[in-house]
Structure 1
Amino acid sequence: MSLVELLNKPIAELSSAELEQVMAHKRAEERKALDTAREAYQQDKEAYIGQLLDAFKEQAETLKKIKGIAINEGLALNNRIYEINGKTPKEDQKTFTIKNEDDTARVVIDRQERFEFTEEAQVHITAIKDLFKEKFEQRNKGFYALLDSILMRNSKGDYDAKLLTKARLQVRKIGDEALISEFDKLQDCMRVVGTSTYIRVYERDENKKWRDISLNFSSI
């Protein structure tokens, strides 16, 4: 009896061997359907990732070009207003703002130095953490945990130069000579490795407050 005939035969009339043959066919069909579904999923997944990757790369390149043009033109405008007033821009000028005439939009261009620490920094970081632990852990565990977190590396494996600089200023107010000494030594371990230029655009909202027009994907 052919398979087609078996499939059309009432199940109650099937022998054990015929039933096994029908079940084997059903299992094969299920496996084929599952394989087809997996293959379709795999194709769709690869297409999704590939298309999204290309789109993100294209937009990232576009934004990079926009940033470069915007910064260069902003710097040129900043130089022009100095020239109009018979002045020369300061070479160390790090931040400037350009606003429209009705004060509803502004552009802020900000240059920031990038820092890194020498290997010796770890010695002073460890000494500072030990001093903090000795002085504050028993008195206020929450405060100690906050101080300790300031001296930890960030997700990129770097120390946060800004936080350490702020902490150094606060330590001077405390007046602890041992801490001051270690923070001064840590400060000497910082090296300027370059600068980064940032540009931010703001507009006033319905409450006349400045609102950042963010290009961060997570904020859209």
Structure 2
Amino acid sequence: MTVQQTINHPGAVIVDGIARLPDDKGNLVALANIKPMDLLMDEMVRKVVAYGEDLSAELARFAAHTDADIAALDALIAQDYGVEPKETKGNRTFTSFDGLLQVKVAVSERIVLGPELQAAKTVLDSLIRERGTGVDPFLMTLIQRAFKVDQEGKVDVRSILALRRMQVDDPRWPDFCRAIDDSVRVVGSKRYIRIYRRPNPQANWSMVPLDLAAVEPTPAAFERRSLRRQVEETEQLNTRLADLLDRALMHLSLEGGNTEVARDLIASSLRLLGIPERIQAGSQGEG
């Protein structure tokens, strides 16, 4: 059985001269036996996923480069003040000189509640049983919401921590708050990079969206060249430059080669690179 890639349909292969596409059970189904709408859907999904994976990788590179740039600036600032650079975990804001661009670094800690939470719940249950209907209905609602478990069996950490700010006239309430405080465990943190811009220093900041849910297909977005397009244009430019320079070298190296043609080819390559003609003329004159 001969298997080779085919360009008839993305993801399809040629098996014994027939274009086939694997189904969800691993069977190779001939394209002729697949509904046209299913083929269109498959092609659309593969196209979107391919672009999405490229974009995800680009975002990962962007995050890594941004972290490196911020770390380099932190090191320079530390050096300027004669101190040892340290990893900064707090929130920070960097603003451009004209006050129109801003980069914010926000750190969010991941908190879990330890076994002390059960002791806090026991104190709370005792308080509620003894007070009965005397418990403030609003407080009771907050308690029920805070200790309600989700589908994963976890409680709402933020709601439980918010209970500590409540003022309850009961001698057991401080014990409840202390048990909550002792239960807090910081098990990690996540850093967020947010980008803002504004048209003038008096205007409000607008965040540059980096998630699909917040991105809007504005005309400006389509006018901006995509990263993939920039890469394609760079590759085309490199191919064109290589061709021009190869032809120029051929004329210069061969006996009887046309140096004037070689000069024109080199000038064309310099124009592709965006080098002004006056600089070209100066360089050629020096040669």
Instruction: Provide the TM-score with structure 1 as the length reference.
Output: 0.64
- Cα displacement string for residues 6-64 of structure 1 (whole angstroms, at most 9, x for unaligned residues): xxxxxxxxxxxxxxxxxxxxxxxxxxxxxx9x812222222233332333232222212
Q: Is the contact between residue 106 and residue 193 of structure 2 (CA under 8 Å) also seen in structure 1?
A: yes
Q: 2:180 maps to what in 1?
A: 186
How far did residue 101 of structure 1 move? 0.3
SS in 2 for 1:107: strand
How far did residue 104 of structure 1 move? 0.8
- Cα displacement string for residues 53-104 of structure 1 (whole angstroms, at most 9, x for unaligned residues): 3332322222122112212211221232232133456666411111110111
1:195 aligns with 2:185: no
Counterpart pick for 2:210 among 206, 215, 219: 215
How far did residue 136 of structure 1 move? 9.9
How far did residue 107 of structure 1 move? 0.8
Counterpart pick for 2:65 among 69, 75, 88: 69
SS in 2 for 1:194: strand
1:40-55 maps to which residues of 2 (within 5 A)? Answer: 40-55=36-51
Matched AA of 1:187: D
Q: 1:77 to 1:174 in 2, by over 3 A?
A: farther
Q: 2:29 maps to what in 1?
A: none
> Structure 1: how far apart are the matches of 2:134 and 2:102?
49
1:145 aligns with 2:171: no
Matched AA of 2:91: T
1:88-103 maps to which residues of 2 (within 5 A)? Answer: 88=84, 93-103=89-99
How far did residue 125 of structure 1 move? 4.6
- Relative to structure 2, which stretch is displaced further, 137-146 or 41-50? 137-146
> Unpaired runs of 5+ in structure 2?
1-31, 216-287
Q: 1:106 maps to what in 2?
A: 102
SS in 2 for 1:219: coil
Q: Is the contact between residue 111 and residue 195 of structure 1 (CA under 8 Å) also seen in structure 2?
A: yes
> Structure 2: how far apart are the matches of 1:65 and 1:155?
35
TM-align CA RMSD: 3.6
- Cα displacement string for residues 122-176 of structure 1 (whole angstroms, at most 9, x for unaligned residues): 56457647857987988775664355334444676544444433332x13x4454
> Structure 2: how far apart are the matches of 1:70 and 1:41?
43
SS in 1 for 2:144: helix
1:3-42 maps to which residues of 2 (within 5 A)? Answer: 39-42=35-38
SS in 2 for 1:86: coil
Matched AA of 1:219: A
Q: 1:79 maps to what in 2?
A: 75
> Structure 2: how far apart are the matches of 1:157 and 1:61?
34
> Structure 2: how far apart are the matches of 1:109 and 1:86?
24
> Unpaired runs of 5+ in structure 1?
1-35
Q: Is the contact between residue 99 and residue 105 of structure 1 (CA under 8 Å) also seen in structure 2?
A: yes
Q: Percent identical across equivalent pairs?
A: 19
> Structure 2: how far apart are the matches of 1:178 and 1:143?
15
Q: 1:58 to 1:92 in 2, by over 3 A?
A: closer
Q: Is the contact between residue 129 and residue 148 of structure 1 (CA under 8 Å) also seen in structure 2?
A: no
Matched AA of 2:93: T
Aligned residues, how many?
A: 182
Instruction: Provide the TM-score with structure 2 as the length reference.
Output: 0.51
